[in-house]
Structure 1
Amino acid sequence: MPFDHNDHYHRLLLRHVPRGGGVALDVGCGTGRFARRLAGRGLEVDAVDVSEEVVAEARALSAGAGNPRFECADVTAIDLPRGRYDVISCLACVHHMPFSTVAALRDALAPGGVLLILGCYPESTAVDRAWSLAAVPVNAAARLAVAVVEEFRRGSATTGRAPVTRPTTPLRRIRREAEVLLPGCRVRRLLFWRYLLVFRDGG
């Protein structure tokens, strides 16, 4: 599918990124598109993903595109430095790990830092299904528009993708757990089966 739901929300995520530089961590970076956007904002970027294939591609695609440092790593199995990052972003990857992992991400934020999670959730309620129904025609139109653009860009390199896991945690449970682990966070439902969680460190 040429239309990428995660890329669609890059601009929304960047609105929450503080100006003036700093240090960022992009978790589940894939081929590095959002990491490059963070670097373009003047941030020093660490980017991690569990897939060696996509990390290798991210490095190749990012040559001369800012300063992302890509590493093949499982964020649940490494010790993150406490209080280091001004921005931590997680795009469509939190459902690959225990949600409690956000506590380690929270502790890695510098005072005043922001944690941005673009998450996925399954349909489990009537409200979920209503939002899904609303997304279908918009999704179809976006796919068609992007396909037309891609038709004019034949020969462009295809990019690899990290392994995909279907989300299993309902949005209402995510909200409950987030309230405990990330007090004061905001969780907003989005189209395309996504939610946005924003947490700012109060330090």
Structure 2
Amino acid sequence: MRAKPFKLQLPEKLWWDHNAWYRRWLLRQLPSRVRSALDVGCGHGVLARSIPADEVTAIDASERMIELASATNSRVRWIRGDVLTHDLGRYDVVTAEASLHHLPLREGLGRLAELTAPGGTLVVVGLYLTTTPADWATEVVTLPANALVGLAKAVTGTAGKPYDVDMPVVMNAPTLAEIRAAAAEIVPGARIRRCLFWRYSMVWHSPEVH
């Protein structure tokens, strides 16, 4: 029986957006010049609207998410569809913020790699299961840090998770070992790091074609 991500439930007034915490980091991983970008599992579209590319496409399986994302005027092309089967091109940048764990790991990662053009960049921030002694050791830092950040945001009036209301919640995700094993086969050379707040990061540069 697989473990589930453990998270100490804070009072609602101390809730905050863990994905937003890593958004600036994610954007810093992108090349300075991007012609085309794809944001997978775009949700409300905050990340997609922030990507500095000439052309940005964003896809989400949820009709409600696309409806909310497209309500704000932007240059983004919004698509409601399944990234695994929808007819898409190849992009200089592919991002997946808290979305890969909604897909079968190997099939999903393979599809993200396929959508990344030669010489392009894939950046993933996702959830992983807390299962190993190293995972639990990270909780020693993560749990108090989670509370402290929530408290600081509550004091400054920036707490709350407004983007989670309509989003699906995944209570099962791959382990870090599974993620690393899949990456070694599908995106060799990808840089994977354990992060605070139950997240991991992955950066992969697709090989150039000579």
TM-score normalised to structure 1 length: 0.88
Q: 1:19-30 counterparts in 2 under 5 A?
A: 19-30=32-43
Alignment pair present for 1:18 and 2:31: yes
SS at match of 2:184: helix
* Count of aligned pairs between the two proteins: 193
Instruction: Tell me the residue number matched to 1:71.
Output: 79
Instruction: Tell me the residue number matched to 1:45.
Output: 56
Alignment pair present for 1:134 and 2:141: yes
Q: Contact 1:26/1:48 (CA < 8 Å) preserved in 2? A: yes
Shift of 1:139: 0.7
Instruction: For CA contacts below 8 A with separation 6 or more, give which structure has more relative contact order.
Output: 2
Shift of 1:167: 2.9
Shift of 1:177: 1.0
Shift of 1:76: 1.8
In structure 2, how many angstroms separate the alpha carbons of the residues matched to 1:73 and 1:114? 22
Instruction: Tell me the residue number matched to 1:94.
Output: 100
TM-score normalised to structure 2 length: 0.85
In structure 1, how many angstroms separate the alpha carbons of the residues matched to 2:88 and 2:105? 16
Give CA-to-partner distance per residue, 1:136-167, whole Å, 9 cap, x none. 1111111122223337x9xxxx4443211123
In structure 1, how many angstroms separate the alpha carbons of the residues matched to 2:155 and 2:63? 31
In structure 2, how many angstroms separate the alpha carbons of the residues matched to 1:176 and 1:78? 26
Alignment pair present for 1:177 and 2:173: no
In structure 2, how many angstroms separate the alpha carbons of the residues matched to 1:88 and 1:174? 18
CA RMSD of aligned residues (A): 2.0
In structure 1, how many angstroms separate the alpha carbons of the residues matched to 2:118 and 2:85? 24
SS at match of 1:165: coil
Q: Contact 2:120/2:205 (CA < 8 Å) preserved in 1? A: yes
Q: 2:44 aligns with which of 24, 27, 31?
A: 31
Q: 1:54 aligns with which of 65, 68, 71?
A: 65
In structure 2, how many angstroms separate the alpha carbons of the residues matched to 1:36 and 1:108? 19
- Match for 2:76: what amino acid? P
In structure 1, how many angstroms separate the alpha carbons of the residues matched to 2:104 and 2:69? 25
In structure 2, how many angstroms separate the alpha carbons of the residues matched to 1:79 and 1:72? 12
In structure 1, how many angstroms separate the alpha carbons of the residues matched to 2:62 and 2:148? 31
Q: 1:162-201 counterparts in 2 under 5 A?
A: 162-201=167-206
Shift of 1:42: 3.6
With over 3 angstroms needed to count, the CA separation of the structure-2 counterparts of 1:202 and 1:31, relative to structure 1, is: same
Query: Which blocks of at least 5 consecutive residues in structure 1 are unaligned?
Result: none
Shift of 1:126: 0.7
Sequence identity (%): 39
Give CA-to-partner distance per residue, 1:78-135, whole Å, 9 cap, x none. 2332xx2011000111111111221122122122100111011111001101112211
In structure 2, how many angstroms separate the alpha carbons of the residues matched to 1:119 and 1:56? 23
SS at match of 2:193: strand
In structure 1, how many angstroms separate the alpha carbons of the residues matched to 2:65 and 2:199? 22
